[in-house]
Amino acid sequence: MGKVFEQIDAKLADWIGRQRLFFVATAPTADGHVNVSPKGPIESLRIVDGLTVEYDDLVGSGAETAAHLRDDGRICVMLCAFEGPPRIVRLHGRGEIVPAEDPADGRRGVIRVRIDRISDSCGYGVPLMDYAGERPQREAWNARKGADGLRAYVAERNAVSIDGLPAFDGRVAEWTSNSPTSSA
């Protein structure tokens, strides 16, 4: 039987910090695609206080989370134990995106979640897995793109969601016009 927690206490925070990754689920208000994304490394997830977490929103292939949060705000952060005793923890709440000043470092901003429900469940269906390490591709991709390439990628690929909802549209023009090599 699962448990509902009043807040993230020290014991739960310690468990969260030992997981390797987390998942984020969002959905738009109207018809549209539900989105679930793996996130990590776990160090990018920070516990601000007992009812608030935040994580770095890294430049990626889509912008569904940001668009859904702008549209509706609902979010669920889920963590699973792939090592040790089985457990799943879900952090339900309302999220917001705090945009970065510039995505040139590979971060579009920070997703901040104000939690209204914390629960766990057995996790018996989650397989045991051995951790082999972090993948090197993200850092290599960021380095190949460079600052201007990351700005251009966000402008081209992350302004709107797959359903056409605005994600970073207002910031994209600012980010690309602030580029040191911009002619603006």
Per the confidence metrics, is the pTM higher than 0.85?
yes
Measured CA distances, 128 to 8, 43, 77 (Å): 25, 21, 20
Residues 6+ apart with CB under 8 A from 148: 104, 179, 181
Dihedral angle over CA of 81, 106, 36, 45, nearest 10: 40
Q: Is the pLDDT of residue 170 over 70?
A: no
**Burial of residue 116 (number of CB atoms within 10 Å: 0-12, 13-18, 19+):** exposed
Q: Is the pLDDT of residue 8 over 60?
A: yes
Query: Are 151 and 104 in contact, with CB atoms under 8 Å apart?
Result: yes
Question: Half-sphere exposure (CA, 13 Å, Cβ side) for 122?
Answer: 3
Query: Are 115 and 53 in contact, with CB atoms under 8 Å apart?
Result: yes
Q: Is the pLDDT of residue 169 over 60?
A: yes
% of the chain at pLDDT higher than 90: 86
| Region of residue 18 (phi > 0: left; psi between -120 and 50: alpha; otherwise: beta) | alpha
| CATH level 3 topology of 4-176 | Pnp Oxidase; Chain A (2.30.110)
**Average pLDDT for residues 33-59, to the nearest whole number?**
96
Mean pLDDT estimate for the chain: 92
Residues 6+ apart with CB under 8 A from 32: 161, 163, 165
Q: Is the pLDDT of residue 171 over 90?
A: no
Q: Which of 81, 79, 92, 120 is nearest to 27 (CA)?
A: 92
Query: Are 26 and 75 in contact, with CB atoms under 8 Å apart?
Result: yes
Residues 6+ apart with CB under 8 A from 57: 65, 66, 97, 107, 108, 109, 110, 111
pLDDT band at 183 (very low <50, low <70, confident <90, very high): very low
Cα-based angle 181, 183, 184 (whole degrees, multiple of 5): 115
- At residue 30, the pLDDT reads 84
